[in-house]
Structure formats: C-alpha cells, structure tokens
Amino acid sequence: MKALSSKVSKSLVPGAVLVCADNSGALEFRMIHIIGKGGKHGRMASAGVGDVISASVRKGTATYLKKPVRVVVIRQRDEIRRPNNVRLMFEDNAGIMINDDNLPVGTEVKGAMAREVAERFVKVAGIASRIV
C-alpha cells in the first residue's frame, strides 16, 4: 500500500459509526476492526483517512444488512495536517464500500473525498465528485 503524504491522525476506534457515502445500498457502517494494522500491545488499533477497515452495515438494504464488509475511510472529523501547513477537517466520518480487489462497489461518491484517499486508491478517486 502506498504511503500517505500527510499526517493523518487516527481517530476512529472500533465501534465508531460512519456514514456510507456511495450508492451501494448501505446507509450506515459500524467499525469492527482495521484490516492490515495492529495496535500497540494493550491498546486498541485506530483508523484514519485512507485506511481499509472491516465494518458491519447497520442501516441499508437487506442484501448488506448485518453483514461484514470492507470499507475505505474517505472523511473524518478529526483534522488532517498536510505538508504545506494546511489543516483539513470534515463535518462527518464517512466511508465507501470496496471489494477484495480494492474496487468500489458503488458507482458514485456523495460529497467530498480527501486527497490522501485518491493517492492510495486510484479507482475510488475515479468515481468521486470532489477531491479536497
């Protein structure tokens, strides 16, 4: 996985609620754990923008309801520090569903997406409406 160019604070812990920002059929996710990362011994692992997490669908269509899915975090409320001294924060925590090949399940993204996600996931950035 490609490294990020910004300092992303990891503010999403297991149990966090994320809004689904694509048109896949899910409406709300609850984070289960982070895929590919572990925390320090005795500490919960946390996720930020650009991380792939495992989440359960809490609201949405019956095909995805109460089933674990892979999600990429595209927005977070906590600030992101970029190298040019810009601090960026969004008004909600949001993610989009991806499959095992890191391709998006939906066909469009509602709302803005952080540039850090576009650097790491090119196919996800292709369906984004705005990249900030």
Instruction: Return the CATH number at 123.
Output: 2.40.150.20
The pTM of the whole model exceeds 0.75: yes
Examine residue 1 and state whether it is found in any structural domain, yes or no: no
70-101 pLDDT, tens digit each: 999 999 999 999 999 899 999 999 999 999 99
Examine residue 35 and state whether it is found in any structural domain, yes or no: yes
Residue ranges making up the domain that contains 53 = 7-131
Cβ within 8 Å of residue 119, ≥6 positions away: 2, 4, 5, 50
CA 108 from centroid of its chain's CA atoms: 15
Examine residue 2 and state whether it is found in any structural domain, yes or no: no
Structural domains in the chain (count): 1
Examine residue 77 and state whether it is found in any structural domain, yes or no: yes
Q: Can you give the pLDDT at residue 9?
A: 86
By the 8 A CB rule, do 52 and 70 touch?
yes
Q: Can you give the pLDDT at residue 3?
A: 75
Q: Can you give the pLDDT at residue 8?
A: 86
Examine residue 110 and state whether it is found in any structural domain, yes or no: yes
Q: Which residue ranges of the chain lie beneath pLDDT 70?
A: 1
